[in-house]
Amino acid sequence: MRIICFYLLLFFTPPLLAQTDETDKAVVQSDSLLTPDPLYREDQFYASVSYNLIRGKADQYSQNSFSTGLTVGFLRDIPLNEARNRAVAIGLGYSYTNIKHNLKVSEVTEREVTSRVYEVVGDSDFSKNKLVLHYLELPIELRWRNSTMTSHKFWRIYTGFKVSYLLNDRSQFESNEGTIRIQHNPDVNKWISTAYVSAGWNTWNFYVAYSFTPIYKNAYTKQGEELKLSSFNIGLMFYIL
C-alpha cells in the first residue's frame, strides 16, 4: 500500500508543479496581479533634457540656436514613513551643457604669461561658437509622491540641491579666419551649486534648475564688464525604477 501511495504522489506532483509555474508567470506578467512589496523604492535612475537659459548676461550678449542641458544618474531612494510616499534621496550623476552664444574666448601670451580674452561679437562674425561643460553631480532631494506598493504610476514633487564638479570644459569659436579652441580654462568655476524641482505624473515631469554659481570667476569682457553668466534650465525629467 505504501508503494502504491508513493507512485501516486510521483504521478500527480509534476502537473501540480507545472500549474504553479504557470500561475507565477501569469502573476508576474499582469500588473493587476503583482505581489505587493511593502519595502518598495521608487525612481532610482533619472535623466533630464532641458534648455539652458543664461542669466547675468553681459551687454550685447545673446544665445543662438538651442543651448542643451542633459543629466543622467542614480539616486538612492530612502523612504521616511510607513506608506513610503515621503522620502529623501542621495545620488551620483553626470551632466552635459552646451551653450551656443556670441561670447568669443581667445588667449594672449605676454612675457610668458597666458591670459584669456572675452569679447561679445556680432552673429555675422562667426559660423559656430559654443561652450561645452561636463560635470560630475552630487544631488540630494526631498520627495513627495502618492505612490502605492502595487503601482508605478503616480504624482510626484521632488525638490533638491546638487553640487557639481567640473570634469572638462571646452570653448570653440569658428569663423572664416579659422578655429579657436580652449580647454581647461582656469577662469571656469570648478564647483557650482544648483537648486532644482521636478514635478509631474508618471513618465512626464516638468524640470527646473537654478544655478547659484556663475560659470566664470574673475573674468571680464574687453569693455571691462564682469562676466556673471549662470544657468537656468527648463525641461523634462524622466525617472526609472
**What are the tens digits of pLDDT across the range 193-226?**
999 999 999 888 999 999 999 999 999 998 899 9
Show Cβ contacts of residue 146 under 8 Å, excluding neighbours closer than 6 positions: 85, 154, 155
Name the helix (H) or strand (E) containing 5.
helix 2-29
**Residue 65 reports pLDDT greater than 80:** yes
Nearest one of 51, 140, 41 to 98, comparing CA atoms: 51
- pLDDT score recorded for residue 35: 62
Side-chain-side CA neighbours of residue 197 (13 Å): 4
Banded model confidence at residue 73, pLDDT cuts 50, 70, 90:
very high
128 pLDDT more than 80: yes
In the prediction, which pLDDT does 111 show?
80
Query: Any idea what DSSP says for residue 31?
Result: G
Kindly state the average pLDDT of the residues 118-136: 95
- pLDDT tens, 29-54? 444 445 667 787 888 899 999 999 99
Among 36-45, 124-133, 181-190, where is mean pLDDT lowest? Answer: 36-45
In this prediction, residue 32 carries a pLDDT of: 43
- Comparing 40 with 92, the larger pLDDT belongs to 92
Give the side-chain half-sphere CA count within 13 A for 167.
10
| 192 CB-near residues (< 8 Å, 6+ apart) | 135, 163, 164, 166, 211, 212, 213, 215
The strand pair at 128-145 and 86-100 is best described as antiparallel
**Rounded CA separation 106/222 (Å):** 11
Q: CA 156, CA 178: separation in Å to the nearest integer?
A: 49
Rg of the chain, C-alpha, whole Å: 27
Dist. CA 182–CA 126, nearest whole Å: 16
* Average pLDDT across the chain, whole number: 86
**Sequence-distant (≥ 6) Cβ neighbours of residue 116 within 8 angstroms:** 105, 106, 107, 182, 185, 187, 219
540641491: which residue's cell? 161
Give the confidence band of 175 by pLDDT, cuts at 50, 70, 90: very high
Higher pLDDT, 31 or 114: 114
Instruction: Tell me the three state secondary structure of residue 39.
Output: coil
Q: What pLDDT is stored for residue 148 in this prediction? A: 84
Phi, psi angle pair for 101, to nearest 5°: -150, -175
pLDDT of residue 5: 46
**Angstrom distances, CA of residue 168 to CA of 119, 174, 199:** 22, 20, 30
Q: What is the mean pLDDT of residues 83-107?
A: 96
Q: How far is CA 109 from the centre of its chain?
A: 38
pLDDT at 143 over 80: yes
Look-up of cell digits 562674425:
125
Amino acid identity, position 54: I
CA 112 to chain centre: 40
